[in-house]
């Protein structure tokens, strides 16, 4: 039922043996990937975290080992001592394929039942099974690779920040519940009846306090928590690379972070990205891509035709505009033939999921156009539209008429969907862009007031400060997001370090100073005793690792993730607890 | 109310300027530590995270800067551009004391109210004030130094483990409540009504699963949580350096960790510790020091005189022994004259706090002995005792008669208390020892059964396995603690990787397999599919940093600690939350 290693101590890792090792005696330990019996020999693929090597049991080398080997099955754990020899039938598919190890001594360290999932990357078992048997799923080479890339990325980040005089400082996990924003996970306090800690949504306030403390440069790779309904690729606990710097403005933060991003791509992907990274204003990103997370790997940019069609006979266009809406389109350049009416109808359904009421289209053929809306448009109008859209034979033009947010959202997603359907996105291409000059405020229709687009400590762009009271919607923020291939990988801002300006900000947000004090008391107190200019950024570490590993499932880059129902299929968390435990915490279940 | 930096960008850090910089134009940013006006000049000590430099405002250099400087007060935040010059009156106390900077341009980046605590290490304000104004307290050089040592230690640990093929893997913070051991912090689940997550007390089970996963070598510097009544130097959340290795036995783990410890001491303290580190069995540690955390920096070792006095006329001794107790003593060698009867009486009171009913003593003078118990002892008995205690003129012998646990506990603490009173402990001396061969079980009198001294997965010493059913109290564990100067800095064990042995272990603990399955279900399942021999260790990172910084208060090595009441005086966490929030979590307050 399992032998001990005895005096055997591992000398080599399975995946590292090469022809250089021929003739050496080695001691290997690992799992049985596969066993084959052939010509009186037993061949075993032995696997450890570095890879696979073929070991051979031969009666003539060791009868004892051979006989014992006859009992082994998949996933048994072995320790073997043997000699590396040149392999007769070379296997070009694995790095160790030119050698094999003839076993002189075998210890079966543990037996194994037949595993409920296969230990191979192309196993197509359900994700539920993968998560339930995560300890087996993690044996797969791809998962081992993903976790190692995650480790290496953290290492590269730390090395870079260490070299740049950042100090890694741990901020508390048991924090104060926050007054607004996403939902907190709460933790009842036993020694303070009726009171609760919150798990941090981010270390934002603590890192600003560290700047007030004169720590100068802070970083942390840290768990954060949000109790939100989980969409795909969200987890209740997620990891941020969080950093903050004193005595900086936007360019300082961006320049340092570009070097960091350069280093990550260089060391993890072997790619040298171009510096400086392109910057694009929020407005430009919205106008051209319909989103503040533009994917620049392909075209199909948005064009505004509102001015052309505002008096159109086509009431779907002109009526929408009269009601305050607008009309924009994208040109699927050169791919008109790829989309039948039925395909376009499917695209329309896709656009509807983002709120569009319909999708108007014009196909430009060599011999004229086909379009269900052409008959409503005058010839001049049609020509102007085609000109604006840069339309030529072979193009498919798609239009949405609606209020601006719907136009952006639906066309922004549509251009990506079309590119995916056409399979024209180069997965090995990385297009990076800083999106800057975000609006400082956005109007919250529910609350009928302006709210901070980032957070209420975000510094306005200097020349816009005078507009705070008069035209708040025009005030831009010293905020920046780094967007890679359409994903926001990180974002941050310069913070207000001046009480006067902070007061004006709160006023613009409709907070009295008393409300502000209730919400942010200790931070406002801290700002009274000399606050340096400061700013920072936080990266979504899980998302970054997805990008670097080419994973499209966040659960493939986290060792022990939760489902979309926020449960662990492995440990069965969350679970019920005893009445006594609840009593100690001064709470009871609400029934 | 605060200027912007404008085009000024920091070129140097305050504390780094030296005579080499004389003649250079520099731009510095920092806080006003002190301002003095002297001979028509304004002198300011400007402070940043690297230290202090003197800057000088001289009308003749810049009238504008001089006039502005006239308004500045302590803790104002400044940006200055100026020229480094040789200082007339050298200050040998600070590294920048040979230079000063004549300011050509000044920007006041933020003003400051008078801070409620002084920004200097020897401020003797209450700890409550320090914690409330933590962002000011952290400005003190000592706190900045402590956090930097913490950072650097984490860095050294990571570098070492990276080089040794460990993979840093994050384990979940939202885990399954544990069935026994210390109290969990619980987190109610919103989407799973009536169910709770627990914050991890340690990643123990997850790291064992990672070994089952074939990750081979895992580490993490990670927050852990225990909701226990806080003693001094305990925090509700604390940090562990946690690691686990596959295909290892005790010596492998110890040897690797000795190299790690060596590197930490070398890089942080500049001390080269001797390797291998001494090992001492649990039994020897208890016999000689009365504790499994022996401080080896001084003597006063325990000696057993039970055999000598078991038939003594002195009934306090012989009576105790008859009732199953024992008598041991320590020799305060050469310090008899330091302790008056009154002093010894105080020591007795100290011993009582550890359960001792009294403290017998013998003082050996040049001209005989003085002792309140001598008259009850025969001369031969007395001589034997003195011989056993290695007693000579000038020695003070102290004895406790009680059941073994009280004798060990009281004498163990007493020898430390005496050494502290005598001030003979060299704070720059580091005595390291591995305590090994712990008993696998300890008897729990309340539960009237054996419980695992470490945890139920700890592997027994191989040659003791046969005693599991017959003499469990004699079975030693493959467990090891690293003890430095009387503090347990880390501990770990080799784990059972064999189902058969695990079953015998559970049986010895009095669990049915069904109970075991309820408690540890998914781990036992995992062990069915091929488990490598594995073991690891966890270090108390806060405690290690206390040792390396020479702090005797855990709150001095944590940026934002909690009080013994588990509250944050800074943020006021924990705090009340709204009824709506509780309703969402399906709980209500227990009133």
Is A9 in contact with B252 (Cβ distance < 8 A)?
Answer: yes
The beta-carbon neighbor of A171 closest among B9, B560, B584 is B560
Q: Is A541 annotated as a binding residue?
A: yes
- The answer to whether residue A229 sits within a structural domain is yes
Please report residues of A whose CB lies closer than 8 A to that of B231: none
Does A54 show up as a binding residue in the annotation?
no
Query: Based on the domain organization, do A415 and A309 belong to the same domain?
Result: yes
| Residues 6+ away with beta carbon under 8 Å from B187 | A185, A186, A187, A199, A574, B174, B196, B197, B198, B199
Query: Among A437-446, A567-576, B265-274, which stretch is predicted with the lowest mean pLDDT?
Result: A437-446
Predicted local distance difference test score (pLDDT) of residue A248: 97
Same domain? For A139 and A266 the reply is yes
Judge: B187–A187 Cβ closer than 8 Å, yes or no: yes
Is B235 annotated in a binding site? The answer is: yes
- The answer to whether position A6 is within a domain reads no
Q: Do A104 and A58 touch, CB atoms closer than 8 A?
A: no
Best to test chain B binding among A130, A523, A574, A586 (most B CBs inside 10 Å): A574
The count of structural domains within chain B is 3
Contacts of A113 in chain B (CB under 8 A): 528-529
Mean pLDDT of chain A: 94
Q: Is B459 annotated as a binding residue?
A: no
Contacts of A353 (CB under 8 A, 6+ apart): none
Contact B49 A216 (CB under 8 A): yes
- Determine the residue among B166, B241, B247, B459 to mutate to test chain A binding: the one whose Cβ has the most chain A Cβ atoms within 10 Å: B247
Domain contains B358:
yes
- Residues contacting residue B75 through CB under 8 Å, at least 6 positions apart: A529, A530, B31, B32, B112, B115, B119
Give contacts of B16 with chain A, Cβ < 8 Å.
Answer: none
Q: According to the model, what pLDDT value does residue B503 have? A: 86
The mean pLDDT value for A375-394 works out to 95
A-chain residues within 8 Å CB-CB of B566? 174, 189, 191-192
Q: Residue B34, Cβ neighbours under 10 Å: how many?
A: 14
CATH number of domain containing B46: 2.40.50.140
Nearest chain B CA: its distance from A226 CA (Å): 11
The confidence score (pLDDT) of residue B254 equals 98
Question: Which of B112, B173, B583 shows the shortest C-beta gap to A237?
Answer: B173
Instruction: Locate the chain A residue with the closest alpha carbon to B162.
Output: A155
Q: Using an 8 Å CB-CB cutoff, list chain A residues near B76.
A: 530
pLDDT at residue A486 greater than cutoff 90 = yes
The Cβ of residue A591 has, within 10 Å, a number of other Cβ atoms equal to 7
pLDDT of residue A354: 97
Å from B358 to nearest chain A CA? 36
CA distance A548 to A430: 10
How far is Cα B504 from Cα B452, in angstroms, rounded to an integer?
A: 13
B103 Cβ neighbours under 8 A, 6+ residues apart: B55, B56, B57, B58, B61, B62, B65, B69, B80, B81, B82
- The three-class DSSP label of residue B294 is coil
Q: What number of C-beta contacts closer than 8 Å exist between A and B?
A: 358
Q: Are A17 and A99 in contact (CB under 8 A)?
A: yes
DSSP summary character for residue B118: -
How far apart CA B580 and CA B588 sit, in angstroms, is: 10
Instruction: Look up the ipTM and state it.
Output: 0.95
Q: Closest Cα of chain A to B488: distance in Å?
A: 22
Considering only the beta carbons, identify the residue of A154, A172, A587 that sits closest to B589.
Answer: A587
Going by C-alpha positions, the residue among A332, A259, A295 that lies closest to residue A413 is: A295
CA distance A569 to chain B (A): 10
Q: Decide if A586 and B586 are in contact by the 8 Å CB cutoff.
A: no
What's A425's DSSP letter?
-
**Torsion on CA atoms B397, B403, B407, B409, rounded to nearest 10:** -170
Chain A residue numbers touching B210 (CB-CB < 8 A): 135, 138, 559
How close is the nearest chain B Cα to the Cα of A205, in Å? Answer: 10
CATH number at residue A349: 3.30.1360.30
- The sheet with strand A217-225 has its strands ordered as A167-168, A217-225, A237-246, A534-540, A487-495, A479-484, A432-436, A279-281
Chain A hits for B227, CB-CB cut-off 8 Å, are 190
Q: How far apart are the first and last CA of chain B?
A: 49
**Has residue B444 been placed in a domain?**
no
Q: Which is nearest to A571 in space by CA: B47, B526, B551?
A: B526
In angstroms, what separates the C-alpha of A590 from chain B's closest C-alpha? 4
Q: Does the distance separating the beta carbons of A497 and B110 come in below 8 Å?
A: yes
B532 contacts A109? CB cut-off 8 A: yes
A 10 A CB-CB count for A283 gives 14
- Which residue, B397, B425, B453, sits at the end of a domain? B425
Q: How far apart are CA A213 and CA A242, in angstroms?
A: 17
In a domain? residue B251: yes
Same domain, A417 and A309: yes
User: Do B92 and B227 belong together in one domain?
Assistant: no
Instruction: List the single residue in B209, B236, B246 with the smallest CB-CB distance to A174.
Output: B236
Average pLDDT in chain B: 94
Query: Coil, helix or strand for A200?
Result: coil
Q: Verify that A138 and A74 share a domain, yes or no.
A: no
Count Cβ atoms within 10 A of the Cβ of residue A273 and give its class: 0-12 exposed, 13-18 middle, 19 or more buried.
Answer: middle
pLDDT at A466 exceeding the cut of 90: yes
Structure tokens at A437: 């000059």
CA distance linking residue A46 with residue A42, whole number of Å: 12
Annotated binding residue A404 = no
Q: Which helix (H) or strand (E) holds B365?
A: strand B360-365
Contacts A209 to B, Cβ<8 Å: 134-135, 560, 570
B545 Cα distance to chain centroid = 7
- Quick one: A47 and A154 in the same domain? no
Backbone angles phi, psi at A127, to 5 degrees: -65, -30
Q: Is the pLDDT of residue A230 over 80?
A: no
At B91-100, the pLDDT tens digits run: 999 999 999 9
| Residue B417: CA count within 13 A, CB half-sphere | 20
For residue A488, give the nearest of A296, A302, A294, A301 by alpha carbon: A294
Name which of B172, B223, B571 is nearest A560 (Cβ-Cβ).
Answer: B172
Chain A, nearest residue to B187 by Cα:
A187
Residues of chain A with C-beta less than 8 angstroms from the C-beta of B199: 173, 187
Task: Reduce the DSSP state of residue A564 to 3 states and report it.
Answer: coil
Which residue in chain A is spatially nearest to B182 when comparing CA positions?
Answer: A581
**Between chains, do B574 and A192 touch, taking CB under 8 Å as contact?**
yes
Cβ atoms of A417 and A347 closer than 8 Å:
yes
Specify whether B139 is located in the same domain as B248.
Answer: yes
In sequence order, what DSSP letters do the residues of A122-139 get, joined into one string?
Answer: T----HHHHHHTHHHHTT
What are A151's two structure tokens? Answer: 């480790």
CA distances (Å), origin B39, targets A42, A92, B42, B58? 94, 84, 8, 10
Please report the pLDDT score of residue A181 as a whole number. Answer: 67
Q: Which two tokens stand for residue B69?
A: 């400087």
* Residue at which a domain ends, from A79, A110, A141: A110
The answer to whether residue A442 is domain-embedded is no
Its pTM stands at 0.95
Percent share of chain B, pLDDT over 70 = 99
CA torsion angle for A33, A37, A43, A48 (degrees, to 10)?
A: 10
Per-residue model confidence (pLDDT) at position B180: 65
Cβ-nearest to B577 among A172, A196, A247: A196
Q: Could you tell me how far CA B316 lies from the centroid of its own chain? A: 38
**CA–CA separation, B101 and B85 (whole Å):** 6
As a whole number, mean pLDDT of residues A336-350 equals 96
- Beta-carbon separation of B574 and A187 below 8 A: yes
Q: CATH code at A137? A: 3.30.930.10
Shared domain check, B102 and B187: no
Instruction: Answer whether residue A284 is part of any domain.
Output: no
Subunit contact A223:B135, Cβ cutoff 8 A: no
Question: Closest to B135 (Cβ–Cβ): which among A135, A209, A567?
Answer: A209
Q: Which residue of B has its CA nearest to A12?
A: B247
C-beta atoms of B236 and A500 within 8 A: no
Residue of A nearest to B139 (CA): A213
Q: Are B589 and A194 in contact (CB < 8 Å)?
A: yes
Which tokens go with B26? Answer: 């520099």
Q: What is the pLDDT of residues A126-171, one digit of tens each?
A: 999 999 999 999 999 999 999 999 999 999 999 999 999 999 999 9
Q: Which of A78, A110, A142 is the last residue of a domain?
A: A110
Interface test with B, best of A111, A160, A170, A465 (most B CBs within 10 A): A170
- B139 & B209 share domain: yes
Query: Would the annotation count A214 as a binding residue?
Result: no
Distance from CA of B128 to the nearest CA of A (A): 15
**pLDDT value at A180 more than 70:** no
Q: Who among A29, A213, A249 is closest to B532 (CB)?
A: A29
Task: List C-alpha distances in Å: B72 to A261, B6, B29, B30, B298.
Answer: 40, 19, 14, 13, 53
3-state SS assignment for residue A515: helix
Q: By residue range, what is the domain housing residue A210?
A: 132-275+532-591
User: Do A303 and A192 belong together in one domain?
Assistant: no
CA distance A502 to A13: 59
Question: Does the distance separating the beta carbons of A532 and B191 come in below 8 Å?
Answer: no
The mean pLDDT values, 10 residues at a time, for chain B of 591 residues are 88 97 98 95 97 97 96 97 95 95 97 94 91 97 97 98 98 88 90 95 95 98 92 91 98 98 98 97 98 97 97 95 97 96 97 96 94 92 96 97 97 98 95 97 82 87 94 95 97 92 88 78 89 98 97 96 94 92 91 73
User: What tens digit of pLDDT does each residue of A251-303 get?
Assistant: 999 999 999 999 999 999 999 999 999 999 999 999 999 999 999 999 999 99
Asked whether the beta carbons of residue B529 and residue A112 sit closer than 8 angstroms, the reply is yes
- Residues B360 and B280 sit within 8 Å (Cβ to Cβ): no
A279 forms bridges with which residues in the sheet? A434
3-state secondary structure of A306: helix
Q: Do B263 and B308 belong together in one domain?
A: no
Q: How far apart are CA A508 and CA B157, in angstroms?
A: 48
In a domain, B288, yes or no: no
User: What is the pLDDT at residue A361?
Assistant: 97
Confidence of residue A1 (pLDDT cuts 50, 70, 90): low
User: pLDDT value at position A179?
Assistant: 66
For an interface test with B, the pick among A213, A555, A568 (most B C-beta atoms closer than 10 Å) comes out as A213
- Does B105 share its domain with B143? no
B1 contact residues in A (CB cutoff 8 A): 498-501
CA-wise closest residue to B216 among B188, B171, B248, B238 = B248
In angstroms, the CA A19 to CA A97 distance is 9
């Amino acid at each position: 039922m399992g032998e001990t290693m005895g005096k055997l101590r591992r000398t080599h890792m399975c995946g590292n043996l090469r022809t250089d090792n021929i003739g050496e005696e080695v001691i290997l330990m690992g799992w049985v990937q596969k066993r084959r019996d052939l010509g009186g020999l037993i061949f075993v693929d032995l696997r450890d975290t570095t890879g696979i090597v073929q070991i051979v049991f031969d009666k003539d080398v060791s009868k004892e080992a051979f006989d014992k080997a006859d009992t082994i099955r998949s996933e048994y754990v072995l320790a073997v001592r043997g000699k590396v020899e040149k392999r007769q039938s070379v296997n070009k598919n694995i790095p160790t394929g030119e050698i094999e190890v003839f076993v002189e001594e075998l210890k079966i360290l543990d037996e194994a039942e037949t595993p409920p999932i296969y230990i191979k990357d192309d196993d197509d078992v359900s994700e539920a099974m993968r998560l339930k048997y995560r300890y087996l799923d993690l044996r797969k080479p791809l998962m081992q690779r993903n976790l190692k890339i995650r480790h290496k990325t953290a290492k590269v980040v730390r090395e870079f920040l260490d070299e740049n005089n950042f100090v890694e400082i741990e901020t508390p996990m048991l924090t104060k519940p926050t007054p607004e924003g996403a939902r907190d996970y709460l933790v009842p306090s036993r020694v303070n009846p009726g009171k609760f800690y919150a798990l941090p949504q981010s270390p934002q306030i603590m890192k600003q306090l560290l700047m007030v403390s004169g720590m100068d440069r802070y970083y942390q790779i840290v768990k954060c928590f949000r109790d939100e309904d989980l969409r795909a690729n969200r987890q209740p606990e997620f990891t941020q690379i969080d950093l903050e710097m004193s005595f900086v403005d936007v360019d300082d933060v961006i320049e340092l972070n570009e070097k960091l991003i350069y280093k990550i791509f260089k060391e993890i992907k072997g790619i040298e990205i171009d510096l400086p990274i392109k910057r694009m204003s929020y407005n430009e990103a919205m106008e051209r891509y319909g989103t503040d997370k533009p994917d620049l790997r392909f075209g199909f940019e948005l064009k505004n035709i509102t001015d052309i069609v505002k008096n159109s006979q086509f009431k779907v266009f002109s009526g929408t505009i009269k009601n305050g809406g607008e009309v924009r389109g994208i040109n699927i350049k050169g791919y008109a033939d790829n989309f039948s009416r039925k395909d376009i109808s499917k695209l329309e359904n896709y656009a509807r999921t983002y709120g569009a009421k319909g999708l108007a289209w014009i196909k430009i053929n060599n011999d004229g156009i086909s379009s269900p809306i052409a008959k409503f448009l005058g010839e001049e109008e049609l020509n102007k539209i085609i000109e604006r859209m840069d339309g030529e034979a072979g193009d498919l033009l798609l239009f949405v008429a609606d209020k601006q947010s719907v136009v952006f959202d639906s066309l922004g997603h549509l251009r990506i969907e079309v590119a995916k359907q056409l399979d024209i996105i180069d997965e090995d291409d990385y297009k990076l862009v800083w999106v800057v000059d975000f609006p400082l405020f956005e109007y919250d229709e529910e609350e009928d007031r302006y709210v901070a687009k980032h957070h209420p400590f975000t510094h306005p762009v200097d020349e816009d400060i005078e507009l705070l009271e008069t035209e708040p919607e025009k005030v831009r923020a010293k905020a920046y997001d780094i967007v890679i291939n359409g994903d926001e990988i990180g974002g941050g801002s310069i913070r207000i370090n001046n009480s006067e300006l902070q007061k004006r900000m709160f006023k613009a947000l409709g907070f009295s100073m008393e409300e502000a004090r209730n919400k942010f008391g200790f931070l406002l107190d801290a700002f009274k005793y000399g606050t340096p200019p400061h700013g920072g950024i936080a990266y979504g570490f899980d998302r970054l690792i997805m990008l670097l590993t080419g994973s499209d499932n966040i659960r493939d880059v986290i060792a022990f993730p939760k489902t979309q129902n926020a449960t662990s299929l492995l440990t069965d968390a969350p679970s019920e607890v005893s009445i006594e435990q609840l009593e100690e915490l001064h709470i009871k279940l609400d029934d």
